[in-house]
């Protein structure tokens, strides 16, 4: 009977209390919550604007105007992000209208149901469109005016829309306030960092321009380009004559047969690869995507389309909101905007928040602050809600998976009229290290994956990030810190590079290393640099990507320089470099005071109720977890105990039914059963991948559940290993171990490789391996760290008989070290030779378990070694009750069906057949079929 730390009655009272508290909290939230947001009046309209300056052609803009309860009121233009349309900002527009603004949204040209082509915020196209929308607002009686054709208007938008806000404010003096969010300063610098002619925000060369061509941010640029080429997803295609160029017609199949004569009708012309982009943008992207380099013309084009071209003309009050989790437009982009606007005499304020393109948009509290700031700037009512410089500090993840965040407020943004940035120097190891760029630039380091970076805190995908292939990365690590260090901004490091190529493309990043060796890359941030190697060497100060990260006491800082990164275009020619540091790491620190926000009383009461409910539920769950997670000291040395294990799915399907068995140290246990027996489900529950419906699994006395610490004592090989063919077996293993974040000295590479028996082949590239060698390398990968329990699913799949024999020896040698192996297999004869014990499952239930020899001998078959097998077979066939007589050389096998073996021997001898040996027939296959039935055949 399971132990229970609480008497039944006391536990029942706690459960009842939890239910009551949850109900009270729900009632509180229902009472205090609004009865649903008030409806917002809105008007849809299609507005015609010039297709280009001086053109008679028109572009149709699909717009929606949201009206507040009281008018006339100040107005806001609300542009959308790239790849979206006006529907993507509808909720925000209604939120701002309820705040009192007249809000105008529209689908930019080339998106949604608007016509025209995408010019990436071209001053003559999208920015001119926005100026026409200001004209439209000036004619509305519900919009407050400052003068003839001059409405009281602000602009708020994120990313693509944020850049439009800056560009419009620099071009149209009627704009009274702007709040751009997570946007860029120089699009060339954002997509091709350190290209000549872009703002040098990421590196500072010793002398001269740092890099001629920059480093192309391939992954993000490809995502953005795809968003503009999917015309089917964007709505109606441009109509001929309205887009104004032949490219638009050919891209959509319009016009009078622009393809080559005789070409198949279903194949679009080559120009269609650019979708709705203008020919100029298409040409620039094609150059970047095919060469990985930016020409001077491309750099100049991107700068003309960027806020950097007008920041010296922005006089409207500006609130910049930038994300700390943003590998597309990092903190340095907002820094450049702020510095340039302030240098020209503009009024600018800055907020960094725990989000961005990799972490999500501003939450309701920050959106409310932005709305209050805009109201203050456009009406003069109240006081400025934004003072100084505010930034978020994200801590560890809560149990719910959401981050804990505190807000710090500094008197001013460093460098903008306030004190200079405070810095702390951290000493790093500076030993010169040699790194190589592999042929083709693959395999590449994985610092982040656009679209998945926001999941970096998830245990299911964290292994995808922070992978630096051996031989391609130089690491410089500090000693553990003696107190917490809050990094806020761009750390700098002095780098020395030597090599034989004209230039070197390198990627510099800063890791937070915990005491157990686990590494975290704050914000997935990378600083790409292209280093000219005049005379074969160069020295420069590199500003790393801006981050906000509290480095806890006992943690270390590690600067890593790699030759590759999968998110960027890297050289394909092999090369080698020597990397060293001159000095340590200079870390920016921005001291600030923690601040809170004002919340409505009703919301506070609702939150309090939910917190109380959550506390009660947590207490109850904690008591249950404490009981379930308590180790059983009597089982501390037992590798695996399964008791009453059941897994049921909706619809009445039960995959595992009341399964119980025990595995002792040193055993090789075979898990057998026909398809659908529940073997895979059992293994998945054993590894914490799914949760049982009932029962429990204990590994070394600890109950297994998702995320249980005891899972670190289990090694597994369930599916394909995914080895990189261009690396050797050993480098593949080291790359895998690096991805776990655990110290190299705990991997036991030599022991795992010795057990796997690959010999010198471990130094060869995996693409030269046979299937058997790959399987043994996969087993070695599962054995890294020498786990005390090894779980393998079909380890001999695809192997020939000699390879199966080698694999058998590998597993038996591993178990001989005192560890335990659990093998799921359908090869009954192999299990019989490899395993010491067996568990047979059928239809989710246990049908037999025990030693292989005992189970194989449990049937009624017997084997006789005789001098005349044919005569012996005839005697046995004529003996009543005997059936299924087979001859195998000198052996005769027969099913005696209850007949004593001695009587069968007497019948043979009586017939003149000399019997040399008689005994039970040990064959696992027969025992298996007898246990699970003929359908298993």
List, for residues 3-44, the tens digit of each pLDDT value: 333 344 444 454 555 555 445 554 444 444 445 566 799 999
0.75 exceeded by pTM? no
19, 26 contact by CB (below 8 A): no
Residue 340 has pLDDT above 90, yes or no: yes
Residue 230 has pLDDT above 70, yes or no: no
Token readout for 26 is: 């729900």
Superfamily holding 41-195+307-385? Alpha/Beta hydrolase fold, catalytic domain (3.40.50.1820)
Q: What is the pLDDT of residue 844?
A: 87
**C-alpha–C-alpha distance, residues 610 and 28, integer Å:** 9
Percent of the chain with pLDDT over 70: 78
Chain Cα centroid distance, residue 507: 20
Residue 168 has pLDDT above 80, yes or no: yes
CATH topology of 41-195+307-385 equal to that of 635-853?
yes
Return the domain boundaries, the chain. Answer: 1-35+600-630, 41-195+307-385, 216-256+270-303, 422-591, 635-853, 859-921
Instruction: Return left, alpha or beta for 620; rule: phi > 0 is left, psi -120 to 50 is alpha, else beta.
Output: alpha
Cis amide bond preceding 866, omega within 30:
no
CB under 8 A, 24+ apart: contacts of 462-466: 463/739, 463/740, 465/521, 465/524, 466/511, 466/519, 466/520, 466/521, 466/739, 466/741
Residues pairing with 497 in the sheet: 538, 579
pLDDT tens-digit map of 268-288: 454 457 788 999 999 999 888
Q: What is the pLDDT of residue 467?
A: 85
DSSP state of 285: H
**C-alpha–C-alpha distance, residues 51 and 585, integer Å:** 52
Tell me the CATH number of domain 635-853, given options 1.10.3720.10, 3.30.565.10, 3.40.50.300, 3.30.70.270: 3.40.50.300
CB under 8 A, 24+ apart: contacts of 339-346: 339/415, 339/416, 340/185, 340/308, 340/311, 340/312, 341/311, 341/314, 342/416, 342/417, 343/312, 344/311, 344/312, 344/313, 344/314, 344/315, 345/315, 346/311, 346/314, 346/315, 346/316, 346/317, 346/318
Highest CATH level, class, for 859-921? alpha beta
Architecture of domain 422-591: Sandwich (2.60)
Residue 337 has pLDDT above 80, yes or no: yes
Q: What is the pLDDT of residue 312?
A: 95
pLDDT tens-digit map of 867-911: 888 998 888 888 887 877 888 888 888 877 667 778 888 888 888
Give, in degrees to the nearest 5, the angle at Cα 881 between 878 and 882. Answer: 60
Residue 462 has pLDDT above 70, yes or no: no
Q: In sequence order, what DSSP letters do the residues of 731-792 get, joined into one string? A: HHHHHHHHHHT--GGGS-HHHHHHHHT-GGGGGSBGGG--HHHHHHHHHHHHHTT--SEEEE
Residue 704 has pLDDT above 50, yes or no: yes
579 CB burial (10 A radius; 0-12, 13-18, 19+)? buried
Q: What is the largest CA-CA distance in the chain?
A: 127
Mean pLDDT of the residues in the chain: 81
Per-residue burial over 899-928, b = 16 or more CB atoms within 10 Å of its CB, e = otherwise: bebeebbebbeeeebebeebebbbbbebbb
pLDDT tens-digit map of 112-140: 999 999 999 999 999 999 999 999 999 99
Edge-to-edge strand ranges of the sheet holding 668-672: 714-717, 789-793, 820-824, 668-672, 837-842, 845-851
């Amino acid at each position: 009977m399971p132990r229970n730390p609480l008497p039944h009655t006391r536990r029942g009272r706690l459960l009842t209390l939890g239910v009551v508290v949850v109900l009270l909290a729900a009632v509180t939230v229902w009472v205090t919550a609004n009865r649903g947001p008030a409806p917002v009046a809105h008007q849809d309209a299609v507005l015609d604007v010039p297709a280009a300056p001086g053109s008679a052609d028109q572009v149709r803009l699909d717009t929606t105007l949201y009206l507040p309860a009281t008018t006339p009121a100040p107005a806001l233009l609300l542009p959308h992000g790239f790849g979206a349309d006006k529907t993507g900002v509808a909720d925000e527009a209604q939120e701002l209208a309820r705040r009192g603004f007249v809000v105008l949204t529209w689908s930019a040209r080339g998106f949604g149901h608007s016509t025209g082509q995408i010019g990436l915020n071209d001053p003559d196209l999208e920015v001119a469109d926005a100026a026409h929308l200001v004209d439209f607002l000036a004619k509305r009686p519900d919009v407050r005016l400052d003068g003839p054709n001059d409405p009281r208007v602000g602009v708020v938008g994120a990313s693509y829309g944020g850049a439009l806000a800056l560009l419009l404010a620099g071009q149209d003096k009627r704009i009274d306030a702007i709040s751009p969010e997570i946007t860029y300063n120089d699009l060339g610098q954002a997509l091709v960092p350190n290209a000549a002619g872009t703002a040098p925000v990421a590196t500072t060369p010793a002398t001269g321009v740092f890099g001629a061509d920059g480093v192309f941010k391939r992954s993000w640029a490809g995502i953005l380009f795809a968003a503009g080429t999917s015309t089917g997803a964007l709505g109606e295609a441009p109509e001929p004559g309205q887009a104004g160029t032949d490219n638009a017609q050919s891209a959509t199949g319009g016009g009078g047969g622009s393809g080559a004569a005789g070409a198949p009708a279903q194949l679009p012309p080559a120009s269609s690869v650019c979708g709705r982009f203008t020919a100029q943008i298409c040409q620039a992207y094609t150059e970047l995507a095919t060469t990985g380099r930016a020409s001077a013309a491309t750099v100049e084009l991107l700068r003309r389309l960027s806020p950097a071209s007008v920041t010296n003309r922005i006089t409207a009050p500006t609130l910049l909101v930038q994300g700390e989790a943003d590998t597309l437009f990092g903190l340095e982009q907002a820094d450049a905007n702020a510095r340039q606007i302030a240098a020209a005499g503009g009024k600018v304020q800055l907020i960094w928040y725990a989000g961005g393109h990799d972490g999500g948009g501003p939450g309701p509290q920050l959106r409310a602050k932005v709305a209050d700031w805009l109201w203050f700037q456009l009406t003069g009512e109240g006081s400025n809600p934004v003072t100084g410089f505010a930034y978020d500090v994200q801590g560890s993840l809560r149990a719910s998976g959401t981050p804990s965040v505190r807000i710090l407020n500094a008197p001013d943004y460093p460098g903008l009229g306030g004190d200079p940035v405070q810095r702390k120097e951290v000493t790093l190891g500076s030993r010169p290290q040699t790194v190589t760029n592999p042929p083709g630039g693959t395999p590449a380091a994985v610092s982040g994956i656009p679209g998945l970076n926001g999941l970096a805190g998830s245990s299911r995908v964290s292994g995808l990030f922070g992978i630096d292939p051996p031989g391609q990365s130089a690491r410089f690590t500090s000693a553990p810190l003696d107190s917490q260090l809050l990094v806020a901004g761009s750390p700098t490091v002095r780098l020395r590079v030597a090599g034989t190529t004209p230039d070197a493309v390198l990627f510099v990043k800063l890791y937070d290393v915990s005491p157990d060796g686990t590494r975290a890359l704050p914000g997935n941030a990378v600083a790409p640099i292209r280093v000219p190697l005049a005379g074969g060497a160069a020295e420069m100060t590199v500003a790393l990507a801006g981050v906000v990260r509290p480095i806890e006491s006992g943690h270390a800082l590690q600067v890593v320089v790699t030759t590759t990164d999968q998110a960027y275009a890297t050289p394909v020619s092999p090369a080698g470099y020597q990397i060293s540091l001159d000095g340590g790491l200079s870390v920016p620190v921005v001291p600030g005071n923690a601040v809170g926000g004002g919340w409505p009383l009703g919301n506070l009461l609702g939150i309090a109720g939910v917190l109380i409910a959550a506390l009660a539920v947590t207490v109850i769950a904690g008591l249950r977890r404490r009981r379930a997670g308590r180790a059983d000291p009597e089982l501390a040395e037992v590798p695996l105990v399964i008791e009453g294990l059941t897994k049921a799915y909706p619809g009445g399907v039960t995959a595992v039914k009341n399964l119980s068995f025990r595995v002792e140290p040193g055993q090789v246990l075979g898990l057998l059963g026909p398809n659908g027996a529940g073997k895979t489900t059992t293994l998945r529950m054993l590894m914490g991948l799914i949760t049982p419906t009932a029962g429990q699994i204990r590994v070394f006395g600890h109950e297994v559940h998702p995320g249980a610490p005891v899972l670190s004592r289990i090694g597994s090989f369930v599916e394909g290993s995914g080895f990189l063919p261009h690396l050797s077996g050993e480098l593949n293993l080291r790359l895998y171990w690096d991805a776990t974040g655990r110290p190299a000295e705990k991997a036991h590479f030599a022991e795992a490789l010795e057990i796997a028996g690959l010999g010198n082949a471990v130094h060869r590239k995996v693409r030269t391996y046979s299937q058997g060698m790959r399987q043994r390398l996969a087993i070695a990968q599962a054995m890294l760290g020498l786990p005390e329990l090894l779980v393998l699913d079909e380890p001999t799949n695809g192997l020939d008989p000699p390879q199966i024999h080698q694999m058998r020896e590998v597993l038996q040698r591993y178990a001989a070290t005192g560890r335990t192996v659990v093998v799921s297999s359908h090869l009954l004869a192999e299990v019989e030779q490899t395993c010491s014990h067996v568990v047979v499952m059928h239809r989710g239930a246990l049908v037999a378990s025990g030693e292989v020899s005992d189970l194989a001998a449990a049937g009624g078959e017997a084997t006789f070694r005789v001098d005349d097998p044919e005569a012996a077979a005839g005697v046995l066939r004529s003996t009543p009750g005997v059936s299924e007589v087979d001859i195998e050389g000198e052996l005769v096998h027969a099913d005696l069906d209850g007949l004593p073996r001695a009587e069968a021997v007497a019948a043979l001898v009586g017939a003149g057949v000399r019997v040399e040996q008689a005994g039970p027939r040990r064959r696992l296959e027969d025992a298996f079929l007898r246990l699970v039935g003929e359908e298993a055949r």
